[in-house]
């Protein structure tokens, strides 16, 4: 993954960049907002770490500009500001996560990992996980460019799996998501729904994208 780290404090930027490189990433560092803005136009980044207070364009402004230009890389904001209003301003600007200084480097690394695991929003109405694209507007999926027509429930189920990839979703959670927590569960309805979705999804794959966790539920693994 290619990361852009925008941080004007050398004594923080250097160890951070080193740590992220050790995680296997390519890390570009900008020490001011204007250089960062140029870098954002020169490369595609999978994640951008933005310090709020920067010489030149501020981190907050950079984040707003990125979203205006439909740059969808997740943004992690770093700042000494930690009042709730400042946090909300950061999220309003389109930041995905927020870390107040001082922080432990390992916490930042953990948050970076979590952000990189999230599905990428390529268009506001599309969700991409590996070769799978969920088209929210047309309620269908494309897998390796093959269109998969989905019923309303299949679509809901696939979206639920996609947004929680790699995580165990229990029968109860899936039931509550698809039919509402108040309705009375009927036996095997979740299993039947999963079976229908698998039939459409797993064509061309040796193993199912939806893994059964016996006695508990299911886990979705990105294609
Ligand atoms: Ca700063």
Residue 31's domain is classified under what CATH number?
3.40.50.2300
Ligand 1: distance of its center to the CA of 90 in Å? 15
**Per residue of the chain (223 residues), what is the pLDDT tens digit?**
899 999 999 999 999 999 999 999 999 999 999 999 999 999 889 999 999 999 999 999 999 999 888 888 999 999 876 666 777 777 778 888 889 888 999 999 999 999 988 776 666 678 887 778 888 878 889 887 788 888 989 999 999 998 888 899 999 889 888 887 677 666 588 999 999 999 998 876 778 889 999 989 999 987 7
Ligand 1: distance of its center to the CA of 96 in Å? 19
Distances in whole angstroms, Cα of residue 122 to Cα of each of 56, 63, 94, 141, 201: 29, 17, 14, 14, 21
Ligand 1: distance of its center to the CA of 6 in Å? 9
Residues spanned by the domain of 12: 2-117
By three-state DSSP, how is residue 142 classified? strand
CATH of the domain at 155: 1.10.10.10
Give the global pTM.
0.59
Domain boundary among 77, 96, 117: 117
Ligand 1: distance of its center to the CA of 13 in Å? 10
Nearest partner of 109 among 68, 151, 49, judged by Cα: 49
Query: Are 177 and 80 part of one and the same domain?
Result: no
Query: Are 96 and 135 part of one and the same domain?
Result: no
Domain boundary among 117, 146, 168: 117
Report the C-alpha gap between 223 and 132 in whole angstroms. Answer: 7
Total of domains in the chain:
2
């Amino acid at each position: 993954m290619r990361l852009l780290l925008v941080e004007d404090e050398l004594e923080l930027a250097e160890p951070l960049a080193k740590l992220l490189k050790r995680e296997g990433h390519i890390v570009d560092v900008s020490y001011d907002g204007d250089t960062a803005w140029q870098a954002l136009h020169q490369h595609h980044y999978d994640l951008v770490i933005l310090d709020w207070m920067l010489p030149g364009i501020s981190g907050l402004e950079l984040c707003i500009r990125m979203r205006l230009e439909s740059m969808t890389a997740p943004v992690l904001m770093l700042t000494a500001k930690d009042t709730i209003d400042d946090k909300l301003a950061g999220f309003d600007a389109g930041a995905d996560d927020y870390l107040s200084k001082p922080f432990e480097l390992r916490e930042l690394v953990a948050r970076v990992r979590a952000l990189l695991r999230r599905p990428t929003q390529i268009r506001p109405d599309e969700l991409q996980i590996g070769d799978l694209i969920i088209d929210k507007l047309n309620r269908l999926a494309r897998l390796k460019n093959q269109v998969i027509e989905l019923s309303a429930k299949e679509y809901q189920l696939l979206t639920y799996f996609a947004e929680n990839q790699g995580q165990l979703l229990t029968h109860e959670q899936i039931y509550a998501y698809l039919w509402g927590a108040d309705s009375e569960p009927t036996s095997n309805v979740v299993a039947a729904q999963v079976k229908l979705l698998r039939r459409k999804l797993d064509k061309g794959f040796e193993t199912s994208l939806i893994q059964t966790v016996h006695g508990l539920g299911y886990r979705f693994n990105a294609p």
